[in-house]
Amino acid sequence: MNSWTITSARRPDDSVGRADQAPPVALAWFAAIVAGLASGAVLGWWCRASAESRSVSGVLADLGAPWIATAFAAGALARLMSAGRRPSDGVSNAVGSAVAGALAGAICLVVATGVYYGPARTGRLDVSGAGSSTVVWSVVGAGIGVLFGAVGALWWSAPTRRQAAACLVAVGTAITAEAYYLLDSGVASDLLVRNVLVGVAVAGAAVPMLLGLRWHAVAGIGLVALFALPASLAAEVVSIGALDSIDHLRWYLSR
């Protein structure tokens, strides 16, 4: 029986005690689909219900952070559903976990986009002319979902705390980087928006604390703070690129 701790969800030592077998492929794919559909539906409904409201939820619904975090959670959930808390010992098992997590994350964000804009919820677009936004953000969401869904699955099945910390640093950096970018770009002129972004940046930096009060977590917080500034440039590229693509696609379809 595996000896796991509640605070760190990892083995008490940094090594794997015995070889672990990968979950059956069919089960892993089924778990990925279910996790992706369920988490995507919840995320899309929540964002749609909170959109345009003058509240903390309304501000969060306009950010990428909840989408990144949900894709990460979908990947971890897919791994949990298919293999429980067993570490993924070996390259082949790690690759299998990553692929299942990537599928779950991609499904999650594509479904969430469809629910948010309407097609997956009502069978039509909620806003006239939102077809371009739905297409572009579905593509962007699929890419982001693949990345962070895989990271989530690898985190849950990581055989050592060091590998688990690396996964948490990756997702924490992405969340904090977006907040850095938006704070620096000047879009946070509203006090509520600015406070929420500061809170998101702090929350992103604190993601490694999911490991518990250990030196890996403390080091992870420092790495998030270090990597988030250069990573904010990537957040800017993704944001501006997606918005430009929406405008170009809308222009092309209107010809």
239 falls in which pLDDT band (50, 70, 90)?
A: confident
Give ∠ CA 228-113-139 in degrees, rounded to 5.
70
Between 54 and 118, the higher pLDDT residue: 54
Over residues 220-245, the mean pLDDT reads: 83
- Note the pLDDT tens digit of each residue in 47-69: 988 887 888 998 999 899 999 99
Please check whether residue 4 is in contact with residue 10, taking contact to mean a CB–CB distance below 8 angstroms.
yes
- Single-letter amino acid, residue 17: G
Q: How far is CA 101 from CA 44, 104, 149, 220, in A?
A: 19, 5, 5, 22
Between 96 and 123, the higher pLDDT residue: 96
pTM for the structure as a whole = 0.82
* Rg (alpha carbons) of the chain, rounded to whole number: 19
How do the domains of the chain map onto residue ranges? 25-253
8 falls in which pLDDT band (50, 70, 90)?
A: very low
**Separation between Cα atoms, residue 70 and residue 244, nearest integer Å:** 25
**Separation between Cα atoms, residue 80 and residue 86, nearest integer Å:** 8
Q: What is the DSSP string of 50-72?
A: HTT-SSHHHHHHTSSHHHHHHHH
**Which among 175, 241, 230, 178 is positioned nearest to 208, based on CA atoms?**
175
Mean residue pLDDT of the chain comes to: 81
